[in-house]
Structure 1
Amino acid sequence: MAVTAQPLILDHAVIGVLDRLDEAAAIYRKLGFALTPRGYHTLGSINHLAVFGENYLELLGFPPDSDGKRADLWSYPVGLNGLAFRTADAASLQRELGDAGKPVTEWRDFSRPVDVGGIEKSASFRTFQIGKEAISNGRFFFCQHNTPELVWQPRDQSHPNGVLNIVDVFIVSRAPQTLTELLGGFANTTASDISSVAIQAGTVTLHILSEADAASRFGSSIPTDFDGNERKVALGLKVRSLEATAGVLAQGGFSPRALEGGLLVDADAANGVALWFKE
């Protein structure tokens, strides 16, 4: 049964880097991502984005001289620790989900300055979390873009590695029902559209794997040690040309292995998350 008319759509994936944003950004540029200039959130965090056609990847950290702002985020393991889902109206969605008995936090507003042709503008957002106490090693949250045109700028959407979009997220879970219950009830995730092993979030598939299935599919390429119910371990990235991607990765000093017709970069080489490039 749907509890909201809003669909579940992945907006962006968050890779936590703690106080090593410079190091992480250097790695991702070598991987062939064209990163946006550093962003400074009013909440105290800092970031770089790799912006694609429909979604984006965020490297999120804090300044080395941080005074402890966003301390709630820095307890998570380095790597893929946040999934943001898109909403056109965070306040109404938060109310609908709360009325349906889902555990949600209060929404909050924040922003960051963006340079557009030498003019400083403010990219602003409204977000709230779902399942804050139920989700281990990270967070699920909803993000309302008040100024999407300041995030999805054509100048930022062309990447040397040819990545077009995030198309898969892989989550190792010991309690898949926790995830399906949290993310069920959207217009596109009613009972007939959701299973214990996959949740469709727009053009992105969230794959829920047991530890054994994850080990069989990815081997040692993904993080294997985690406390709690689950950990987000890998991203599937659609590319324009796998041959061109392979060239960029080789130039950057990476040695990906073949996986199901694509190329897999180990989590150890990509700041705690395995990256599966595929056409």
Structure 2
Amino acid sequence: MPATAQPLILDHAVIGVHDKLDTAADIYRKLGFALTPRGYHTLGSINHLAIFRDNYLELLGFPSEGEKKRADLWSYPSGLNGLALRTSDAAALQRELASAGKPVTDWKDFSRPVEVDGVQKPASFRTFQIGAEVVSNGRFFFCQHNTPELVWRAADQDHPNGALNISDVFIVSRTPQTIIELLDGFPSATPEATDAGITIPAGTAVLHILSEESANSRFGSAIPQSFDGNERKVALGLTVRSLEVAADALARGGFLSRPFEGGLLVDAEAANGVALWFKE
């Protein structure tokens, strides 16, 4: 029985950078992403975003000086450590998932100021986490955008590397059933077993759950090679306007990409702990 009528949609992918946001932002600009100005959350974290058509990438850190208010986040390894799934009503979805027996936290509200035509406006959000006690090396959470017009702005979506959307998320898991059970109950999000692992559709993106053997066979040394716990998020697929445009942007930034499954792959070591697969 479905747990909710709300769809399962990838909203954004979080790359944790701890107190190295300046360094990470420089890397991602050189990778060809147009980043938004630094954001300052009311919860204490700071970020830059790469906004795409249907989702976005977030570089999330904390100030190098002062109190670290988000202690729960800073315990995760740097790299791809958060997946935000979209909800139109976080409070209602939290109640539905709790009633279905899924482990969810209380929801919380926060915001960050955004400057629009010289005027400061609050971009506000409501989020809650699922599986906090069973997911390793990061988190799955649901995000309600109260002011999506302050996030998806056309001026922020023109990337020198031609990036259009996050199309794939790759998760190496020793207990894939844990993730399947957490995300079970959403319409049109039925897990499918493939030769490479398990896939779960999430809007315009696909979540790929791979065994360590399958991930290493497919990506080799391009992804993080060891981790504690049950799973780790290791790679993102990004659709681009043109591989030629992406290749030119990467070369200008000084990155060595290599051919990979019809696209281009940048190793995790060069991209702050997450492998990036550019594809048309």
Quote the residue 1:69 is aligned against: 69
CA drift of 1:195 comes to 2.9
Secondary structure, counterpart of 1:27 in structure 2:
helix
Q: Which amino acid aligns with 1:9?
A: I
Quote the residue 1:207 is aligned against: 208
CA drift of 1:187 comes to 1.6
Secondary structure, counterpart of 1:215 in structure 2:
helix
2:127 is aligned with 1:127: yes
Quote the residue 2:240 is aligned against: 239
CA contact (8 A) 1:172 1:232 kept: yes
CA drift of 1:162 comes to 0.1
Q: Which amino acid aligns with 1:106?
A: D
2:81 is aligned with 1:84: no
- Stretches of 4+ moved more than 2 A in 1? none
CA contact (8 A) 1:180 1:195 kept: no
CA drift of 1:107 comes to 0.1
Q: Give the Cα–Cα distance (whole angstroms) in 2 for the partners of residues 263 and 75 of structure 1.
A: 31
Q: Give the Cα–Cα distance (whole angstroms) in 1 for the partners of residues 161 and 66 of structure 2.
A: 33
Q: Which amino acid aligns with 1:241?
A: S
Quote the residue 2:268 is aligned against: 267
Give the total of aligned pairs.
Answer: 276
Q: Give the Cα–Cα distance (whole angstroms) in 2 for the partners of residues 41 and 188 of structure 1.
A: 33
Quote the residue 1:175 is aligned against: 175
Quote the residue 1:249 is aligned against: 250
CA contact (8 A) 1:4 1:97 kept: yes
Q: Give the Cα–Cα distance (whole angstroms) in 1 for the partners of residues 174 and 38 of structure 2.
A: 36
* TM-score normalised according to structure 2 size: 0.98
Quote the residue 1:105 is aligned against: 105
Q: Give the Cα–Cα distance (whole angstroms) in 1 for the partners of residues 111 and 187 of structure 2.
A: 29
CA contact (8 A) 1:50 1:156 kept: yes
2:192 is aligned with 1:195: yes
Q: Give the Cα–Cα distance (whole angstroms) in 1 for the partners of residues 155 and 258 of structure 2.
A: 31
Quote the residue 2:230 is aligned against: 229
* TM-score normalised according to structure 1 size: 0.98
Secondary structure, counterpart of 1:72 in structure 2:
helix
Quote the residue 1:160 is aligned against: 160
Q: Deviations over 1:38-82 (max 9, x none)?
A: 000000000000000000000000001131200100000000000
Q: Give the Cα–Cα distance (whole angstroms) in 2 for the partners of residues 203 and 25 of structure 1.
A: 25
Q: Give the Cα–Cα distance (whole angstroms) in 2 for the partners of residues 66 and 207 of structure 1.
A: 38
Q: Give the Cα–Cα distance (whole angstroms) in 1 for the partners of residues 192 and 233 of structure 2.
A: 18
Secondary structure, counterpart of 2:264 in structure 1:
strand
Give structure 2 stretches of 5+ with no counterpart. none
> How big is the alpha-carbon RMSD for the aligned residues of Structure 1 and Structure 2?
0.6
- Identity among equivalent positions (%) equals 75
Secondary structure, counterpart of 1:54 in structure 2:
coil
Q: Deviations over 1:185-229 (max 9, x none)?
A: 01222xxx2135111101110000000000000000000110011
2:147 is aligned with 1:147: yes
CA contact (8 A) 1:44 1:69 kept: yes
